């Protein structure tokens, strides 16, 4: 686990309750992965003409869980429902980021989002969003309850609406919607082609001091800059200098790994 | 039954020195089993639970 003390401030309205029975969690709510994810870009790419998330949570569900009788808040997104076999091609009982599930090894393979932190590549997952359009774009679960999160439990993430669109320097929502296979279902076969908006993270876990007190949170408050930007932005300081505006929603995006300057796909 | 991934963040938790050391070496964070930077995928532990009581 990663220590994220500010999650304690998220507020009970944005968490769900659970109890542990024979070692397993029993959640109060759950997502429904049966809807078909649909995304149709507009002529400008974004905002889209249609965005319909493939996973929609019920009113009780949140990935942030308070377990009865246990301290703290866990970030434990539900990624599949029901029993095997799991649909990892069209995601009718799995989240749209799930590429494989091994119920013997008890592992899940997820498509990663790629972004930047302080000029360097960063990898994260994006399993939940409090906004349905963002959930569709991120192949995430739309979680209405997350909208009730306290801002003090979040940190900012930068998104360009109209960034560069080249094959090697693409960034932002226009690039993602018009120049990548965003409409396609994510599978192991097309994972390398899915690309990303290359968002700009303001803070990441300190690998050398993972369990020290810190300001990191996996819950991000989305900041958007809308004017055309013709060069990539890779640091949050540079992004903040553009005076972006708060988008008014949150995404659950835990950082997974750090890349170097030669990372593939950057 | 519902399947869910590892708890990736917590307000409180138990220290795991093994996971800490591995993460520092491989530049992947605890709870992540592997990362494929060619296909942009990660393998994480999965847990079984249930919902709606």
Residues of chain A with pLDDT under 70: none
ipTM of the complex: 0.95
Contact residues on chain A for B7, CB-CB shorter than 8 A: 1, 65, 74-76
Q: Which residue has the tokens 């226009």?
A: A174
Q: Do B10 and A3 touch (CB under 8 A)?
A: yes
pLDDT band for B3, please (50, 70, 90 cuts): low
Contact A251, A140 (CB under 8 A): yes
- pTM score over 0.80: yes
Q: How far apart are CA A196 and CA A180, in angstroms?
A: 8
Q: How far apart are CA A61 and CA A103, in angstroms?
A: 23
* Segment A112-131, tens digit of pLDDT: 999 999 999 999 999 999 99
Q: Which of A212, A217, A224 is nearest to A150 (CA)?
A: A217
Surface-to-core class of residue A240, CB atoms within 10 Å of its CB (0-12 exposed, 13-18 middle, 19+ buried): middle
* Segment A74-97, tens digit of pLDDT: 999 999 999 889 999 999 999 999
Q: What was the pLDDT predicted at A175? A: 97
Q: How far apart are CA A116 and CA B19, in angstroms?
A: 24
Q: How far apart are CA B10 and CA A253, in angstroms?
A: 14
Q: Please give, rounded to a whole number of angstroms, the shortest distance from the CA of A139 to a CA of chain B.
A: 14
Q: What was the pLDDT predicted at B52? A: 77
∠ CA A147-A183-A177, nearest 5°, is 75
For residue A166, give every residue at least 6 positions away whose Cβ sits within 8 Å of its Cβ, in sequence order, or none: none
Surface-to-core class of residue A92, CB atoms within 10 Å of its CB (0-12 exposed, 13-18 middle, 19+ buried): middle
Please give the C-alpha separations between residue A255 and each of A122, A216, A251, in angstroms, as whole numbers: 7, 10, 12
DSSP per-residue codes, A138-165 = TT-EE-GGGGG--GGG-EEEEEESS---
Contact residues on chain A for B23, CB-CB shorter than 8 A: 207, 210
| Contact residues, B window 1-53, toward A, CB-based 8 Å cutoff | 1-13, 15-16, 20, 23-24, 27-33, 35, 37-53
Contact B5, A108 (CB under 8 A): yes
Q: Which residue has the tokens 């400008």?
A: A44
DSSP structure class, residue A219: E
Q: What was the pLDDT predicted at B53? A: 56
- The tokens for A63 are 């990935």
Contact residues on chain A for B45, CB-CB shorter than 8 A: 106-108
Beta bridge partners of A40: A50
């Amino acid at each position: 686990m990663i220590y994220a003390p500010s999650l304690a401030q998220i507020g009970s309205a944005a968490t769900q309750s659970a109890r542990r029975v024979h070692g397993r969690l029993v959640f109060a709510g759950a997502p429904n992965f049966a809807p078909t994810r649909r995304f149709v870009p507009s002529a400008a790419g974004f905002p889209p003409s249609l965005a319909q998330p493939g996973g929609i949570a019920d009113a009780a569900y949140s990935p942030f869980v308070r377990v009865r009788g246990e301290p703290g808040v866990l970030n434990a997104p539900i990624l599949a429902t029901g029993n095997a076999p799991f649909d990892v091609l069209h995601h009718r009982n799995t989240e749209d980021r799930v590429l494989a599930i091994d119920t013997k090894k008890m592992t899940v393979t997820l498509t990663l989002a790629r972004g930047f932190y302080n000029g360097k590549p960063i990898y994260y997952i994006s399993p939940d969003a409090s906004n349905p359009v963002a959930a569709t774009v991120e192949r995430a679960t739309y979680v209405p309850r997350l909208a009730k999160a306290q801002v003090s439990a979040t940190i900012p993430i930068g998104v360009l609406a109209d960034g560069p669109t080249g094959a090697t320097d693409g960034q932002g929502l226009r690039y993602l919607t018009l120049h990548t296979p965003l409409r396609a279902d994510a599978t192991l076969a097309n994972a390398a082609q899915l690309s990303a908006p290359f968002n700009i993270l303001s803070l990441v876990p300190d690998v050398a001091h993972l369990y020290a007190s810190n300001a990191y949170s996996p819950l991000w408050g989305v900041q958007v800059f809308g004017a055309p930007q013709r060069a990539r932005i890779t640091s949050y300081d540079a992004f903040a200098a553009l005076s972006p505006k708060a988008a008014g929603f949150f995404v659950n995006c835990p950082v997974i790994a750090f890349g170097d300057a030669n990372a593939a796909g950057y | 039954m519902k399947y869910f991934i590892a708890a990736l963040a917590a307000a409180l938790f138990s220290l795991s020195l093994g996971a800490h050391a591995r993460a520092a070496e491989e530049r992947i964070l605890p709870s992540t089993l592997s990362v494929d930077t060619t296909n942009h995928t990660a393998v994480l532990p999965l847990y079984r639970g249930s919902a709606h009581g």
